[in-house]
Structures are given as C-alpha cells and as structure tokens.
Amino acid sequence: MGSLIPFIEHNDANRALMSSNMQRQAVPLSRSEKCIVGTGLERQTALDSRISVIAEREGKIISSDSHKMHLLSSSGKTISIPLVAHRRSNKNTCMHQKPRVPRGKSIKKGQILAEGAATVGGELALGKNVLVAYMPWEGYNFEDAVLISERLVYEDIYTSFHIRKYEIQTDTTSQGSAEKITKEIPHLEEHLLRNLDRNGIVRLGSWVETGDILRANHRISHRSLRKALAGLLRAIFGLEVSTSKETSLKLPIGGRGRVIDVKWIQRDPLDIMVRVYILQKREIKVGDKIAGRHGNKGIISKILPRQDMPYLQDGTPVDMVFNPLGVPSRMNHWALEGFGVAHILQEILTYKSDHLIARQEILNATIWGKRVPNHEDPPESFRVLVRELRSLALELNHFLVSEKNFQVNREDV
C-alpha cells in the first residue's frame, strides 16, 4: 500500500509505514470516490486485490441482477458470472459487487463488469475528497483531535455498512435440562415477538432494534429435581412452580439493523445452531478514527453545524479542521503538498487561465446573459505541461470519462 502514497519519497519512513497500515484497515464506504491526487497505481492495486469482476472473454451482456450476470460469448455459449452480494468479511464489513455494464452492452476481454466495495471506475477508492483546513479551533483539535462538519453526517459522506453475526446453540445440561425453540413462551410481551415466525426464528428482512428477540427458546428443567419444592409451594401458597427458563437470543445494545440472512444448522434433534446476520448502517460519529495517506491520523472530537465551521473567502465552509502543530514536528509537510496539488491541477484546467477561445466566449455569454459554453479541449497551460512531459519521454494523455458508467467518450489528445 506504500505505492499509493503521493510524494512518499519525501515522507518520514515511520509515517509511511503508518499510512500503509491504515490503508489496509480502511472501512469501505457506501459511496466511494476516486482520489484527485494519486500515484497512478490505484488501478493496478484494485486489479491485484481481485475485488472487481473482470471479463475473461468478449461477448454481450444479456441479463444482470444483484447476484449474477449472464454473458453471451462470441461462440454462442451463455456464461453465468456470480456476484458477491452483502457478504460479511472477517472484520464485519460488507462486501458487495455492483454491476457496471448495462444489459445489451458488448464487452471486451479484460473489461470491468462489476465494481467492488472500495473501487470506482476500476481504481481503488478508500476515502473521500473533502475540504480540509489546518488551523486551531477553540481547543477542540488539541492533541491530534479532528473537528468535522455535520455535512459529512447528513449527506452520508463517510457512511458505511457493516454485517454482524449473532448465533446461539441449543444444548442439554448435566442435570437433564434441554432447550426448545418455540414462539410459545410465557411471560413475554407481545411486541418482543412481532418479528418471529411460527418456529420462533426472526423473519428475513425484519428491522430489529435493541432488545428484540432473534431466536425464542426456553430451557425445560428436569421435573424430578423440583418435585419436592413444587409440592411444598403448592401446599403452602397455592402456587405452581414453572419448570422452564427463558433463554432467548436478544439483540444487544447498539445492534439495530436489517436481517439479511438466517441459517439453521441441525446436527441432531437436540443440537441446533441458528445464525442471524444483520446489516447495519453506521454514520461517522464522535470517537471514530480518520486518517490521511501520509500518516496524519486523529480522533473526531466534535461535530459542528455548518454555520459554525471556518469558511473560505467565498463563504464555503470547510469539512475538517486539523491541528497545524501535528505537521512540522513529524516532518509531515508533504501532506500539505498533496492537498495543494489538487487545487493547482484544478486551476490549470479552468478556462479563465489561458483558454484562448473559451475565455472570449465566456465573456460574451456573461455580458449578453447567454449559456456558458463547455469546451472539450484543454487550455493552453495544460497543453504546455503535456509537451514538457513528453519531451522527458513521459507519455501523458487525458480522457473525458462518463461519471455514470466510466466509459471513455473521447479519443486521447
């Protein structure tokens, strides 16, 4: 993962090692985004991880859904390509592959058919491009703490999906008590049983909250052990002693979500295991850890409203506030260099710099109130940059890529 760090040759070795480890620990987001400043190896890393589905032969897509795709090869044979749909990883994250090629589209060998959980357009996408400020703010970013805007929460910028597994197994104790799976359990409130089927197992697709029962069962005690006690209580108080104990599997605190899978494993009539998989949606919150690609990590200390965040000269509020004291002492100033390159490239590609034709047309459109034209050719400064790199035997081309299907719409310049 060290090959994905921009300006790694200027970084401190310890910080580069931290960045490599934290990129391995990154949580896949619900809507990933390609990095503006990269090293050029994001596509190769995504291919080597085998998280995307690559076409092994050319043909035509005849049908696709969330679980599989059907490819009609050039030889006339129909090939079924399975997809990973909401599968739990070892770290409880959600692995999901999304089809990117529409039905009826012809494909070539090596083309990407489905994206993984952390890829966009065939490139590895582990985070988001947000507006960051390095400045102190009332002590809330003291000691590497990070201040974030509420926009990251409300617009699901850093929202992720997780899959938790809950399982319970019936057993028989040494005293002869056996567990039984049933919905008919006394002394349980009705709303706790609303998501259970007739067998006492939670239904697929149910929304469960904290304290809801996932599997209803009770343990039946051996009658001979309580025979004397039951007779004594019946004679003195007129009470009937219950011979069962409720041992249901309940959802713990903080485990709300949607039931996506239920597995019933039965080895013998008395040995039954039930596994329930719950999909949870988690927004970013105070206490979460965030990190950049240069080892600049921190813990979120406070989430501020947008109107309270620091803002630029044009009134745009920033998304994150880092402590500037964490940069010079760790020789981490190349993180600032990486942030600045994104704005430099944006300035080069604007029409107002030195696009000879578009600059005059935009001026006339602004004066006469017409629609601003959108030219596809780059400005002159970008052409000069391309020629300079080609003189150093470095080939550089640019493409116009669709944001929907990531297909190239124009020949390289």
pLDDT averaged per 10 residues, the chain (length 413): 84 89 91 87 88 89 89 88 90 90 88 89 90 91 93 94 89 62 73 83 90 79 57 65 71 89 82 89 94 90 94 92 87 73 71 73 82 75 82 75 56 44
DSSP annotation of 373: P
- For residue 301, what pLDDT is reported? 95
| Residues 6+ away with beta carbon under 8 Å from 269 | none
The answer to whether 124 and 46 have CB atoms below 8 angstroms apart is: yes
- For residue 367, what pLDDT is reported? 85
Query: What sign has the CA pseudo-torsion 58, 60, 65, 68?
Result: negative
Q: How far apart are CA 66 and CA 273, in angstroms?
A: 28
- For residue 400, what pLDDT is reported? 63
| Residues 6+ away with beta carbon under 8 Å from 26 | 118, 126, 127
- For residue 295, what pLDDT is reported? 87
In the beta sheet, which residues pair with residue 166?
Answer: 276
| Residues 6+ away with beta carbon under 8 Å from 191 | none
Q: How far apart are CA 121 and CA 119, in angstroms?
A: 7
Q: Could you report the per-residue pLDDT of 178-226, keeping only the tens digit for each?
A: 677 777 776 777 788 888 888 888 899 999 998 888 888 777 665 554 5
- For residue 409, what pLDDT is reported? 56
- For residue 227, what pLDDT is reported? 60
Q: Could you report the per-residue pLDDT of 278-319, keeping only the tens digit for each?
A: 999 999 999 999 998 888 899 999 999 999 999 998 899 999
- For residue 343, what pLDDT is reported? 74
**Looking at this protein, which amino acid is placed at residue 139?**
G
